[in-house]
Amino acid sequence: MTIQSKLIALLDARQRRQAAAILLLMLLGMALEMVGIGLVLPVIGLMTSPDLLGRMPAVQPFLVGLAT
């Protein structure tokens, strides 16, 4: 018997569902954290580049939405 199966055997059905829900929420939080960290450098680049709208006009609607 593996360690995982021994641990699962200790939990009843309600606790297993709760453990699965917590695991899914932890994975979702991890993914959101990774996205947030990954957006730091592009946002800094947007703030420090004065000619961004001239080079990339497709970004203008997003910047206007952030400014309001």
Please state the rounded mean pLDDT for residues 45-52.
75
* Burial of 9 from C-beta contacts in 10 A (0-12 / 13-18 / 19+): exposed
The candidate with the shortest Cα–Cα distance to 43, out of 32, 58, 59, 30, is 59
pLDDT of residue 68: 64
| pLDDT exceeds cutoff 80 at 2 | yes
Residue 48 in this model has a pLDDT that exceeds 90: no
Q: What is the mean pLDDT of residues 18-32?
A: 97
List Cβ neighbours of 46 (8 Å cut-off, separation of 6 or more).
Answer: 52, 59, 63
Structural domain boundaries in the chain: 3-67
The verdict on pTM exceeding 0.75 is no
